[in-house]
Chains A and B, each alone.
Chain A
């Protein structure tokens, strides 16, 4: 039987780079990876449909003179890249510190074999080898292999997940909650588990100082917690309870009452846990995925932007406000999930 490692290495982009370009290919890819990180530090990668970043295989040579398009040299600042209105950007970095930039959709076919070429098309990332390009296998919870965002605090991480993952459902796991591309109704059965898995993967890959992120099977209302987060070297533990609001394709409807119930369940659970584990510092987080839409049963063609965004800014009025009454209950988070009427 063939080893699983044979399969893995046959699809591994750095293995192909070494095969095509030798050890130098790996060295140049590492140089380029650091430059990609420096670019992703200063741009919103979701703003661009196509990003190409290259470096010549010959350390001190530039390669852009072999390309067609308007390419100009930047001073050492990437400010122009940050504020570029273009959907496509091209960058070349050289070992001597030169940076070349274009807002044209540059065709890099002519430099295949002469340069290490990284490309991001939509959410997919590639490294080009001599003849083809290799997809970097997408990993749930990360925007890019080279995106710098990691978080020291859970609050910071959840805020990032809200804005960059949940809002437009950019995580491929989370996409499983939708019945179709319009993102109006939630699928039945597994949706809460999907939300839990997506958030788990995100936290696992982004939180520093982490010991473990454990998805839980919430078997009953007395044990409602969906995710447990353990920290390294401390007795801190965070409990995340997930609820969703909106309507499923089989007409299960959850209104804000569901969020209020979730808050009560979590508070009760924290009380019980504290009694049993008085030496552990626990914190509860209620995370509400909000997919409510006005006139949700209307045909999609009749729904307006106002209908699907009706609840976007409607915060939930919790009563009681546990976060004001107790120190171990974080302010509940509401992740509004955008619909998409353009399909």
Chain B
């Protein structure tokens, strides 16, 4: 079990709750993947994220680590089902205590929090469905739809290189003029959607 995955589920889950009342594994996967891409945009390697993503049968980003973390947290009652529909969860009291301790005491999470926050702030400033649609149009996921290979963001993959080229183009266009990572995030997502978001 990767501890980063445990942190991400609880951190994203708790913050998703304040925005859309509850959360699903699928929504955690999407936001974590967006956070990972923003970390790459910021100059980190995909392997720095702490776990890998593959593509699931639906063509969505999927990490087995996040899935295992959800299962463990559910078994420990740190997250609890929010409704009869067993797909959606809320953070339980013990989960909230745990994430508070992790956030405050362990600086190893502070770096990734900024990228998770970018993903979360995207859905503060625009509807989740719009961000999801834009993300699904990015080069790596688009290319993965047509492939049997399921690991995403492999360095040797043409689509990963296409993503890196996009990010380089984006950096050039923004010319270091902005401090907030939300600006490259929205600009890039709008480019994927071929429609201005915001």
| Neighbouring A residues of B180 by C-beta, 8 Å | 14, 18, 23, 26
| Neighbouring A residues of B57 by C-beta, 8 Å | 233
Q: Does B190 contact A (CB under 8 A)?
A: yes
Q: Which of B6-21 contact A (CB under 8 A)?
A: 18-20
Q: Is the CB of A152 within 8 A of B85?
A: yes
Q: Is the CB of A9 within 8 A of B125?
A: no
The contact string, 1 if C-beta is below 8 Å from chain A, for chain B 105-133, is: 00000000000000001001111111011
| Neighbouring A residues of B133 by C-beta, 8 Å | 204-205
A3-B169, A9-B183, A207-B129 given; A15·B196 CB < 8 A: no
| Neighbouring A residues of B183 by C-beta, 8 Å | 9, 12, 14-15, 18
For A153, the closest partner residue in chain B by CB is B85
The contact string, 1 if C-beta is below 8 Å from chain A, for chain B 174-188, is: 100111101100111
Q: Does A66 contact B (CB under 8 A)?
A: no
Binds B, one of A72-80, A137-145, A172-180, A186-194: A137-145
Q: Does B60 contact A (CB under 8 A)?
A: yes
A14-B183, A137-B198, A230-B58 given; A150·B170 CB < 8 A: no
Q: Is the CB of B169 within 8 A of A12?
A: no
| Neighbouring B residues of A212 by C-beta, 8 Å | 58-59
Q: Does A115 contact B (CB under 8 A)?
A: no
Q: Does B172 contact A (CB under 8 A)?
A: yes
Q: Does B54 contact A (CB under 8 A)?
A: no
Q: Does B150 contact A (CB under 8 A)?
A: no
Q: Is the CB of B198 within 8 A of A14?
A: yes
Instruction: Give bound CA distance, A30 to B179, whole Å.
Output: 15
How many B residues touch the partner, as a band?
Answer: 35 or more
Secondary structure of the B side of the interface? helix
Q: Is the CB of A233 within 8 A of B187?
A: no
Q: Does A33 contact B (CB under 8 A)?
A: yes
Q: Which of A182-228 contact B (CB under 8 A)?
A: 204-212
Q: Is the CB of B187 within 8 A of A150?
A: no
Q: Does A253 contact B (CB under 8 A)?
A: no
Instruction: Give bound CA distance, A300 to B74, whole Å.
Output: 62
For A140, the closest partner residue in chain B by CB is B195
Q: Is the CB of B187 within 8 A of A9?
A: yes
Q: Is the CB of A205 within 8 A of B129?
A: yes
Instruction: Give bound CA distance, A16 to B18, whole Å.
Output: 27
Q: Which of B18, B57, B125 has the most CB of A within 10 A?
A: B125
Minimum CB–CB distance for B60 against chain A, Å? 6
Return the contact of B195 from the options A34, A139, A207 (Cβ within 8 A). Answer: A139
Q: Is the CB of A232 within 8 A of B172?
A: no
Instruction: Give bound CA distance, A296 to B53, whole Å.
Output: 57
Q: Is the CB of A5 within 8 A of B191?
A: yes
Q: Is the CB of A142 within 8 A of B60?
A: no
Minimum CB–CB distance for B115 against chain A, Å? 16
Instruction: Give bound CA distance, A295 to B179, whole Å.
Output: 62
Q: Is the CB of A26 within 8 A of B182?
A: yes
Q: Is the CB of A211 within 8 A of B60?
A: yes
Q: Is the CB of A12 within 8 A of B58?
A: no
Return the contact of A30 from the options B18, B121, B132 (Cβ within 8 A). Answer: B121
Q: Does B197 contact A (CB under 8 A)?
A: yes
For A230, the closest partner residue in chain B by CB is B58
For A151, the closest partner residue in chain B by CB is B129
The contact string, 1 if C-beta is below 8 Å from chain A, for chain B 66-99, is: 0000000000000000010101100000000000
Return the contact of A37 from the options B19, B24, B59, B83 (Cβ within 8 A). Answer: B19
Minimum CB–CB distance for B36 against chain A, Å? 19
A145-B125, A233-B56 given; A139·B197 CB < 8 A: yes
Q: Is the CB of B127 within 8 A of A205?
A: yes
Q: Does B26 contact A (CB under 8 A)?
A: yes
Q: Which of B19, B57, B169, B180 has the most CB of A within 10 A?
A: B180
Q: Does B27 contact A (CB under 8 A)?
A: yes
What are 25 A-B pairs with beta-carbon distances under 8 A?
A3-B169, A5-B187, A5-B188, A8-B191, A8-B196, A9-B174, A14-B183, A15-B187, A19-B177, A23-B179, A26-B180, A30-B121, A30-B124, A33-B125, A136-B198, A137-B198, A145-B127, A150-B128, A204-B133, A206-B129, A208-B24, A209-B24, A209-B87, A212-B58, A233-B56
Partner-A contacts on B (CB < 8 A):
18-20, 24, 26-27, 56-60, 83, 85, 87-88, 121, 124-130, 132-133, 169-170, 172-174, 177-180, 182-183, 186-188, 190-191, 195-198
Partner-B contacts on A (CB < 8 A):
3-6, 8-9, 11-15, 18-19, 22-23, 26, 29-30, 33-34, 37, 136-137, 139, 141-142, 145, 147-148, 150, 152, 204-212, 230, 232-233
6 closest A-B pairs by beta carbon, nearest first, are: A205-B129, A5-B173, A137-B196, A211-B58, A3-B173, A26-B180
